[in-house]
């Protein structure tokens, strides 16, 4: 599983990071840090409010990377492989 930590540009809406088609094709989940902790990502460090977390399968890594790189809503991001 892949975890992407996207730092958003001021005033950006996290729901605009990935297109509806990308979400549908990959099954990726875009969450706030609070939502991620609620579904089991309890080991996360304290994150600023302008962060979105995206979880996807390893096979969809490149598609999510391309989306994040192209999104004007994303200032920077990091990628982490997570054991299921």
Task: Give the number of other CB atoms < 10 A from CB of residue 52.
Answer: 27
Residue 84 is predicted with a pLDDT of 67
Q: Given 3-state DSSP classes, what are the helix, strand and coil percentages for the chain, each rounded to the nearest 5?
A: 35, 30, 35
41 or 35: which leads in pLDDT: 35
pTM above 0.85, yes or no: yes
* pLDDT above 90: residue 55: yes
pLDDT given at position 78: 94
Q: Which residue has the tokens 């920077």?
A: 76
Query: If pLDDT is split at 50, 70 and 90, which confidence band does 3 have?
Result: very high
The mean pLDDT value for 35-53 works out to 84
Q: Is the pLDDT of residue 82 over 90?
A: no
Rg (alpha carbons) of the chain, rounded to whole number: 12
Name the CATH topology of 2-81. Alpha-Beta Plaits (3.30.70)
């Amino acid at each position: 599983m892949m975890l992407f930590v996207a730092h958003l540009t001021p005033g950006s809406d996290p729901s605009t990071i990935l297109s509806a088609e990308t979400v549908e094709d990959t099954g990726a989940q875009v969450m706030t840090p609070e939502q991620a902790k609620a579904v089991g990502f309890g080991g996360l460090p304290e994150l600023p409010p302008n962060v979105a977390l995206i979880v996807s399968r390893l096979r969809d890594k490149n598609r999510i990377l391309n989306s994040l790189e192209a999104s004007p809503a994303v200032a920077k991001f990091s990628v982490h492989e997570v054991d299921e």
